[in-house]
Structure 1
């Protein structure tokens, strides 16, 4: 059966998810690029900034658990729309905050609450719209929106922040929050016009509907499942703890790269503002390649006859080796050794790690739909989001504490941080493999 006979509306759906994730990360990234400006303007310390991002991360993580359960109950269409609407409005409200750290903590905390629904809704949507063999690729595609959003922020935010707007009545940093937040509201028009669950989507052909469900046994209409699986039951499974551990140990790496790369570029290479636009644009551009290629990586092994979960874990093992190159970041970033080219060499290393993270992320998300029935996917993804958020909070606090403690030697602080990131993935893989050594799907729900 060719793709033309099957139909391809499911790829329209994943395109919508790609853009929601793009907006999610664009909005999330704004505060990182504004750190040097706001720190200089209002006298924030690194720990002050870490407190803002840690509160955002913590609330994002904590609410992800509830968001996953709510989305399992109300469905993906309404769930993702409510999530994006709320975080967009909160992002715009950030423009009204002054220099008081607590104001930014409060607004960014609510912003995190809104953003918490994006990934549980997106992962559940992929589970509803794709057969298992295509889910990692679909996840890799929409997850690459994280990098697209960061790329857009790398170009847009420094430019907006460098100017004043509306005859000087709006400062650049305020416009950055206002404009990026408003973009999300436009996405809602396309979401309501183009999206519905497979059973209710009139534009979906019967052949494609059958293909989507070709590798599973269906029990009636399970596109929107109202039954809620208790968290205590989910926490009794090794499969849940495998996902929890993998997210806890590795998500903090991405949070670190998102929020602290601008600070690293300033302190290591004296680059800031519009000067860092293209270098960081390149980092997230390369990461897109990692997300899509990593999502499709297991298909290579599956096509050779390997069982899906085994193929996924083999791919993840190979991916986990790449971030180890981060141990060389500070060596290649040594201006005394490499002169004006040092930042290029350091960024190449960071690009490799960023691409590896996105490849890892595409696959670890898909282990949930490999191992759990659809009615639990949103909830388990939410539990994993909580784990990743806890890891992210700890990483933010570590980054803030170290950069303040080594204020006169920031290179030492970043050396420690990159070492932590370098080995996070291989440690996570070993623990995940120990918890779920072979394909063992949950069938007793």
Structure 2
């Protein structure tokens, strides 16, 4: 693929159909379920701490083991999904994580919950590698960031739905019922996925015109053999994505697993009252997810290079996160919600473009593997964050140091990305791979 604007513009071709957006809707709902199952424990943290007697360090370790499994799962699932394909890979993953979600209802001890979270992390790890691989298969480059933003918005919808649904279930039927009801959602999605998903060239509902539109700007990407997993580490694109995920994913995990606790400790909210603030935060995050993807896609359509479009969107997101350093010092709940909500929106806009960066710089056959490597790095960062936050809360009792760290992560990550990849659309291999890189590899 070359770096010209023309390379990312199918020209006068018309879409000729919308099957690709039905696929995007399925990816959106899978991500929604993924985040519902992931976030239930954060919503129930104050209840479980009171009923089961957990310390802050106990909860930190439960989150730690989820992150550890997530990292392991990402390293394993990327090459597996590239080998077996999105359809079977996604189906296996959601089956595993849905059974693990149900298993939480059987646990009482921190060790039991750690085991259930470990299994959940293994299954949930496959969501984004499979989803971004599906986007690379189903969308032309100029639509990929928007499609990634829409599916990524499923994370925010899941995060919005959880504080609405889980307290109602828990208050009326107990916390165990909350894990059972949410755990069953994945099996409903699984039936729809197996019934509808096919590769574009094998899908009966895809017209020849839509298939041509999807393939128009993919050059010689189609049919490219996967880059061997170990050799992916020879490319700058892998290291750029890895570093960015390591630095910024922990901020999102902070929101998912500790935000209800932050509102409880700082503003006196509980299971009955912290729903609206959480909903407001994730509604803003939804806007950021789609808006961030739209921004870079709009810039590219207006003539900006892929490199400029993606990095301008990343820069805008990084700047919008900065005010989070004040989130734990303001006394107003409304101000805290706005500051955190804007930061969450910026993170999701950042993620939409970061995911798309992988499909910009690697062939479709290697996208899931690179996503897995970067996601594993983010999970390792989340493991460090889990231990750090648990220790800080146990010893200091305030979120101030945590938010100070979160505010700086994105600008540092963007600097690293730019140093490693001065041009996303003409990436350069690391010196050890000199002469081996192609225009489709970073």
TM, length-normalised to structure 2: 0.92
Distance (Å, rounded) in 2 between the aligned partners of 1:257 and 1:207: 43
Determine the structure 2 residue equivalent to 1:359.
Answer: 349
**1:373–1:443 Cα contact (<8 Å) kept:** no
Distance (Å, rounded) in 1 between the aligned partners of 2:438 and 2:203: 28
**2:292–2:350 Cα contact (<8 Å) kept:** yes
Match among 192, 195, 198 for residue 193 of structure 1: 195
How many aligned residue pairs are there?
A: 420
Determine the structure 1 residue equivalent to 2:7.
Answer: none
1:331 match: secondary structure? coil
Determine the structure 2 residue equivalent to 1:24.
Answer: 34
Distance (Å, rounded) in 2 between the aligned partners of 1:5 and 1:103: 50
Match among 73, 78, 83 for residue 93 of structure 2: 83
Determine the structure 2 residue equivalent to 1:152.
Answer: 161
Matches within 5 A, 1:156-195: 156-164=165-173, 172-195=174-197
- Deviates most, 8-17 or 294-303: 294-303
Determine the structure 2 residue equivalent to 1:229.
Answer: 227
- Structure 2 residue 259 is the aligned partner of structure 1 residue 264: no
- Structure 2 residue 423 is the aligned partner of structure 1 residue 425: no
2:284 match: secondary structure? helix
- Structure 2 residue 330 is the aligned partner of structure 1 residue 327: no
Determine the structure 2 residue equivalent to 1:315.
Answer: 313
Matches within 5 A, 1:102-117: 102-117=111-126
Match among 136, 140, 144 for residue 135 of structure 1: 144
Gap regions ≥5 residues in structure 1: 165-171, 335-341
User: What is the deviation of 1:299?
Assistant: 2.2
- Structure 2 residue 131 is the aligned partner of structure 1 residue 122: yes
User: What is the deviation of 1:3?
Assistant: 9.0
- Structure 2 residue 289 is the aligned partner of structure 1 residue 291: yes
Match among 263, 275, 278 for residue 276 of structure 2: 278
**2:329–2:400 Cα contact (<8 Å) kept:** no
Distance (Å, rounded) in 1 between the aligned partners of 2:298 and 2:188: 37
Q: RMSD value over aligned CA atoms?
A: 1.5
Determine the structure 2 residue equivalent to 1:400.
Answer: 390
TM, length-normalised to structure 1: 0.92
- Structure 2 residue 368 is the aligned partner of structure 1 residue 378: yes
Q: 1:37 to 1:2 in 2, by over 3 A?
A: farther
User: What is the deviation of 1:300?
Assistant: 2.6
Distance (Å, rounded) in 1 between the aligned partners of 2:438 and 2:364: 11
User: What is the deviation of 1:136?
Assistant: 0.5
User: What is the deviation of 1:440?
Assistant: 2.1
User: What is the deviation of 1:130?
Assistant: 0.4
Gap regions ≥5 residues in structure 2: 1-10, 428-436
